[in-house]
A = this chain, B = another copy of it.
Amino acid sequence: MIKNIQQRYHHGDLRTSLIKATVEMINKQGVEAITMRSLSNWVGVSRTAAYRHFSNKVDLLTATATEGFKQFSLALRVARLDYSEDELGRFRLMGQAYVQFAIEHSAYYGLMFSDASIQKTDAFDEASSAAFTELVDILVTLQEANKIKTEDPKMQANFVWSLMHGFSSLLINGKLQHIDDLSKEMTYLDQKIMASLVE
């Protein structure tokens, strides 16, 4: 007779489940509320089971942030491959996708850019710079097609990235005042970026 899933000794895919549980718990209660015990309990496993998959709590959180960056890069890439738009339109879609990801996955986003709860690893750096590369790439392409100014693309990327990250994180933390119409605010930013990059 096959045992009930909840009662099996071996969980099956504990590593993935723990990361999912971490994201859910951050969304509901914030990072500070995360404990190895409550996490294990939530997943239905004993206190120290997580240590078979992560060397410690920081390692688990870092892995979660790394996973976040992967999904983030994916979201940006999806926007970049929307061929119903021209290249410049796709670039603007990426901007929308950026903010949308930050809002919809604020737990991930906060963790990804929190220096406190995380300790950088090679995997983390790789996932994190992949997202940045996504941005530099399209800027280079746009320059080659003469759609935007010819400037150091890394500087352009730092500019756009700073603006997007600043806006998203201030928005998430409720530090931007008097925003009744988000899309209006984003349109404003879009105009500023376009004016800054287009000749």
Contact = CB atoms under 8 A, between A and B. Distances in A.
A62 to B, nearest CB: 13
A132 B110 CA distance: 22
Contact of A159 (B129, B172, B192): B192
A170 B165 contact: yes
Size range of the interface on A?
A: 35 or more
A48 interface: no
In the assembly, how many copies of this chain are there? 2
Nearest to A151: B188
A42 interface: no
A173 B117 contact: no
The interface residues of chain A, by DSSP majority, are classed as helix
A181 to B, nearest CB: 10
Contacts of A155: 185, 188
A28 B116 CA distance: 13
A158 B185 contact: yes
Interface in A110-157: 110, 113-117, 128-129, 132, 154-155
A128 B175 contact: yes
B173 A115 contact: yes
A159 B31 CA distance: 28
